[in-house]
Amino acid sequence: MSDQEELKQHFAQRVIHQAREVLEVWQQVQRNEWNASYHAALAEANQRLQRFAERFEQAEHHQLALEIEDCLEDIDDNRGRLSSEIIATLSQLIYRLARTGLQNGDPRSPSAQVPSLSKPVYIALEDHERASHVVRQLEFFSMGARAFTSDQEFLAAMHLRHPAAIVMDVDFTGPGEGLKLAERVQQGLEEKLPLIFFSRQDTDTPTRLAAVRAGGLELFTELLDASSLLEKIEIYTRTAYYEPFRVLIIDDSRAQATHTERVLNNAGIITRTLNEPIQAISYLAEFQPDLIILDMYMPECMGTELAKVIRQHERYVSVPIIYLSAEDDLDKQLSAMNEGGDDFLTKPIKPSHLIATVRTRAERARNLKARIVRDSLTGLYNHTHSLQLLEDASARAQRDGTPLCFAMVDIDHFKKVNDTYGHPMGDRVIKSLALFLKQRLRKTDVVGRYGGEEFAIVLPDTTLENACRVLDEIRQRFSEIRFPAQPADLSCTFSGGITQLTSSTDVKLLSQQADEALYRAKNAGRNRVVGFAAVT
């Protein structure tokens, strides 16, 4: 790299720093409520981002900053309040900002693998070679990491910038010293950093207790592989983007519904209001809310009657229903909750109480739904839900006239992995590929576990040529991952088959075509990607 290019990359890092400030303000809004101070902080951070991005020729960042500025102007026009439309737009812009790097171009191209906005993970292990190995492996999963060889170096880095998480050897720089160092850096922090400990040997209860007291959330022993580590880091770190909760408000009183809507919007929650309860089912199908707020007494029907109707539809059995009513008779409240409700809030209610209840209920509902539609080992969508999402994506693609590809991926010689290294290692390989696919693909792509060592991938707005290029790049990178094993580290490959939607294909035919392309890839020697259109 020339001196000029190095200088350009150095200054472009300032753009990344400003983008991160925008993300961190939005994170605070997610945990609290929108107000004038957050508006000012977001506007100031975004103005700096816009200025630096223009100066250092980062076109993508500059464009996103302009669009965020438009959203902030919309908030001003809305008397300083958020609306459902603004929340949805801002959330998408923030997500796109979190995914940007220092270069522009086709996000589907291999050159798009550039530094992300996320903070790095700090690795402090007594075995420096092992630490460097973990750093390299995490980079395969698009997660930045930095290894340290001394406590002074680690503390200096902490002083300059806090990480996304810390991985600390309990014996870093000496027996038990890692525990003391970790406890020291956490002191005085308003928000504690996710802390994961490691020990080269199995530990006793006193050591584990000391790790807990030092703020440790996990303690790995003996082996430390990147996929298991990344899985824990993803659990304990908050991403800059999240899908806002969606709440359907059913209330015949427009004034009450508008008040509830404003309260929830200011907490970053997307809402839709329905004043005619008889239309509830059609609204549910279109809006797909995480939670329903239901008035108890309405002219057309009782809230309890509507709750029963909603519960008759299997798709909405697990959607939380909260009654919001002036009814203060405890027996009537309990009776209503026995008829399809999950909670009862009495008017008038403090905004903070309403927001906390909605957030808690909606979060639990999402977690429950995830358990139903996701595979327990990998966290990916299960076979049935993957096909349902493929059907939905196919319908959208045909309606909008956009391309769509479907891929099936299978780990090569997987039986040999299980027979040679055991089923725990086989599970680790499956989980690693699942994480790798999630990290390397877009949020709009659907990744599911089709069964065993086989995966299904739905790629909207993607041609067959681009899909083959992207999946082949992932295949090459995955083959470079090393899994700690005896007598030597293990590496694995996968084969893939891809097909593109046409006007004459349905979900069943797409599955058959992708499966046939996968069969061709296996027969051609494995460790390759084959497109169905290329099969003759």
Please give the structure tokens belonging to residue 267. 């907490």
Beta pairing class for 218-221 and 343-346: unpaired
Q: Which is catalytic among the residues 60, 261, 453, 454?
A: 453
305 is catalytic: no
Q: Which residues on neighbouring strands pair with residue 497, listed in sequence order?
A: 408, 530
Report the distance separating Cα 525 and Cα 50, nearest Å. 50
The torsion angles phi and psi of 484, rounded to 5 degrees, stand at: -60, 125
Q: How far apart are CA 470 and CA 462, in angstroms?
A: 10
End-to-end Cα spacing for the chain: 44
Residue pair 522/410 in contact (Cβ under 8 Å)? The answer is yes
Place of tokens 């576990």: 449
Query: Residue 204 and residue 218: Cα distance in Å, rounded?
Result: 14
Alpha-carbon distances, residue 502 vs 4, 416, 448 (angstroms): 47, 37, 22
Q: What type of residue sits at position 385?
A: H
Contact 16, 52 (CB under 8 A): no
Is the bond leading into 487 cis (omega within 30 degrees of zero)? yes
* Contact status, residue 68 vs residue 90, Cβ threshold 8 Å: yes
Q: Which DSSP string do the residues of 240-267 spell out, in sequence order? A: S--PPPEEEEE-S-HHHHHHHHHHHHTT
* Cβ proximity of 319 and 292 under 8 Å: yes
Give the residue numbers annotated as catalytic, written as ranges: 453
